[in-house]
């Protein structure tokens, strides 16, 4: 089977694996022995003793491999900041939706939601919202973003 692997500091990678390979052996095969493997948007890491298929990994599934069990996410907009505790396989889309919501975020209008995106704090990188937050963590399992206007590409 083919599995999309997200991990700290690296673009998503496609890996081949046998369905009966254990989760622990899979982490070893992708170069991260002893690290946890998470299905995308899951609340807990997979059982290391289970085979990939038995653990719920399907063809071309997205998984996160890393050591962080929780990620402290900070999202800044103008002079305010919102903090969220999430799992490392949480997509940036989930964080963006929370940060722009009325209940947990900055109460963006539908129009503003279409104009803004997340940008990695201290950079100009505006990652695709399908990426996992665990890709952007520091050594303390923290990630920081700003809500900014999306880069617009104008054609000639």
Instruction: Provide the whole-model pTM.
Output: 0.91
% of the chain with per-residue pLDDT over 70: 97
Q: Is the per-residue pLDDT at 153 higher than 80?
A: no
CATH of 71-149, one of 3.90.730.10, 3.40.50.410, 3.40.1390.30, 3.10.20.90: 3.10.20.90
% of the chain with per-residue pLDDT over 90: 96
Residue 149 burial by CB count (10 A; 0-12/13-18/19+): exposed, middle or buried? exposed
CATH class of 2-66: alpha beta
**Do the domains spanning 2-66 and 71-149 agree at the CATH topology level?**
yes
């Amino acid at each position: 089977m083919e599995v999309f692997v997200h991990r700290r500091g690296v673009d998503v990678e496609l890996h081949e694996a046998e369905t009966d390979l254990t989760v622990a052996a899979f982490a070893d095969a992708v170069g991260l022995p002893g690290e946890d493997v998470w299905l995308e948007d899951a609340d807990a890491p997979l059982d290391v003793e289970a085979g990939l298929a038995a653990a719920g990994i399907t063809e071309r599934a997205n998984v996160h491999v890393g050591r962080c069990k929780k990620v402290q996410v900070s999202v800044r907009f103008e002079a305010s900041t919102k903090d969220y505790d999430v799992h490392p396989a949480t997509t940036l889309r989930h964080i963006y939706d929370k940060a722009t919501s009325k209940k947990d975020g900055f109460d963006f209008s539908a129009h503003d939601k279409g104009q803004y995106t997340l940008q990695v704090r201290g950079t100009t990188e505006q990652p695709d919202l399908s990426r996992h937050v665990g890709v952007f963590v520091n050594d303390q399992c923290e990630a920081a973003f700003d809500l900014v206007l999306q880069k617009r590409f104008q054609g000639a």
